[in-house]
Every structure is written in structure tokens, then in C-alpha cells.
Amino acid sequence: MADLDMKKVAEVVAISLKEDAVSEDITTDSVVDENCEAIGEIETGRKGVLAGLDVAAEVFRQVDETLAVEKPAGDGEQVMPGRVVMRVEGRASSILKGERVALNLLSHLSGVATLTARFVEKAAAPNVDILDTRKTTPGLRLLEKYAVRMGGGVNHRLDLSDRILIKDNHLALQDGGRRERMGRAVSAAREKYPGVTIEVEAQDLDDVVDALEAGADIIMLDNMSPGELARAVEIVGGRARTEASGGVDLESVEKIAASGVDSMSIGALTHSAPALDFSMEIRPRE
């Protein structure tokens, strides 16, 4: 996941353009001369971190391959209001047809990157990873996780095939006491998928001890207070990685980071990021 998957980008863009019926833009087709040439400039409306410029460029490429796209800014860059981040030149009708889809994707992905960057900054702990989750927009997961990276965050599981994560609902379907269920679940996972990282959700400090004894590689500390997190880190003593989960927001992130956990997972990075404002100004080409 080091780079943006342009094949996936092309698929998302194609679906988005079909959804917007760009081939049936009755307004542009009736008002704009098909021979009119123009220049469109996309600029930021507020401060933020960019993500998705190549996605926006792919929109214009699919609408009209003859359009020339220039990107005077780059993904991961922090920009101020009024900064021109993309320039599109060519057939005016094509620019107008791709405008909204390009802005929608760029705004959403940059919003994710901007919120992630705020969490990274507030944590003020370079050794603590700010993780995303699988709480993503259907169809946009790869793009949203890319945006998290552009904001300085780290990707957690990409999908259900990426790492074993044993949670409460998995243990609820096992027989026996909680410690027995946890040990049996980890052993079964280790036997079936040797070499795969195993993460276990812990609801309290007793669970932390049980997860350690079961041999978990990562222990997810679910909805624990900063004090409980610090105690859990002490119990683990470096024998597994620790991940704080639940209740992480911009008000609590610094205290959680100070507890000594290795990482914290935050669903809000993708499911609650406000869009970053962009607009396009278009003018006839002289």
C-alpha cells in the first residue's frame, strides 16, 4: 500500500462519472459552444493537507484525454486558502463535465488527510502510530487509506484477509471461560495461519494478561482510560504491541499517547472527516 493504486482509482472514477451522467450534461451541451477552449483552476478554500490530486486528474483524463492537466502542488503538502493546486486546459465543455466529480473526490480525500494530520500533531508523540480502521466509505477504502498516509497516519488492516483480529464477538461463539476461549482462539488461528500477525481485543486488564499468555502479537486496548492504558502498557512490558481503541478524539489523543501505547486506531479519520473546501474558476483561453 506504499503507492496509490491507479487501477483502483480508474475504477472509482469510472463509477463516479457514470453516477453523475457526464455524457448527458444537458446544461453544458445546450449552453457552451463545443469549440470553446478554456482554462480551469482548482484552488483551496481553507488550510489543509492535500490528497487525491492524481484522482482528480484521472477524472479529467477519462472525460477527455485531450485535456492538459498541471499540478503545481503535491499530495501530502499543506496548503493555505487560495492556493491553486490544479490547472486544466482544453475543451471547456469537458472541463465543466468533470468539475464536480473531481472536486468531490479531492475534497473528501484531502479532508481525510487534513483530519489525520491534526491527530498526528495533537498526539505530539512521534513513536505513536495514528491508525485508521475499516470504517470506510464502501468503494473508497483504498483511496481513503491512501489519504490517511498523506496526513501522516498509518494503515491498519486493509481488509479481512489482512491480519487476524480476534474480537469479543468471535470469543462469544466459543465454549468455556473467557481465558480458555481466548487461548483456544489464538492457538487455532496460529495453527491455521502460521506467520500471520494475530491481534486480540482486550476489554480490561485481566484480558490483557490473558492475551499475553495466549501469545497475541498485538493487544487492542478497547475503551480504556489513560490510566488503564498506562497500566496495560506496564503489564505488557514490550512483549506485544499495544493499540488504544475507542474514545480517541482530538481532546483525548495527547493523554492517550502519553500512556505509552504503541498506536491508537481512530475510525473518525475516514468516517467523520469534514471535506476540505475547493473550488474551480474557469475562463476562456485566449
Q: Taking residues 133-149, what's their average pLDDT?
A: 97
| Residue 89: closest CA among 117, 55, 64 | 64
Q: Taking residues 170-190, what's their average pLDDT?
A: 91
Classify burial at 258, counting beta carbons within 10 Å of its beta carbon; exposed 0-12, middle 13-18, buried 19 or more. middle
Cβ atoms within 10 Å of 217's Cβ, excluding its own: 17
Which three cell numbers, joined as nine digits, stand for 210? Answer: 490473558
Backbone angles phi, psi at 121, to 5 degrees: -65, -45
Positions marked active-site: 100, 135, 167, 201, 222
Fold exhibited by the domain 6-120+273-284: Aldehyde Oxidoreductase; domain 3 (3.90.1170)
| Residue 51: closest CA among 94, 125, 130, 107 | 107
| Gap between the Cα atoms of 283 and 71, Å rounded | 18
Same topology, domains 6-120+273-284 and 163-266? Answer is no
pLDDT digits (tens, 9 = 90+) for 40-73: 999 999 999 999 999 999 999 999 999 999 999 9
pTM, entire model: 0.95
Res 25: pLDDT: 95
Q: What pLDDT band is residue 179 in, cutting at 50, 70 and 90?
A: confident
| Gap between the Cα atoms of 158 and 2, Å rounded | 12
Residue length of the chain: 286
Do residues 265 and 133 touch, judged by C-beta distance below 8 A?
Answer: yes
Angle between helices 226-236 and 205-214 (to 10 degrees): 30
Beta bridge partners of 42: 86, 280
Res 200: pLDDT: 97
User: What are the residue ranges spanned by the domains of the chain?
Assistant: 6-120+273-284, 163-266
Pick the CATH number of 163-266 from 2.40.37.10, 3.20.20.70, 3.30.700.30, 1.10.760.10: 3.20.20.70
Cβ atoms within 10 Å of 261's Cβ, excluding its own: 26
Q: Taking residues 86-105, what's their average pLDDT?
A: 98
Average pLDDT score over the chain: 96
Q: What pLDDT band is residue 176 in, cutting at 50, 70 and 90?
A: confident
**How many H-runs (helices) and E-runs (strands) does the chain carry?**
11, 12
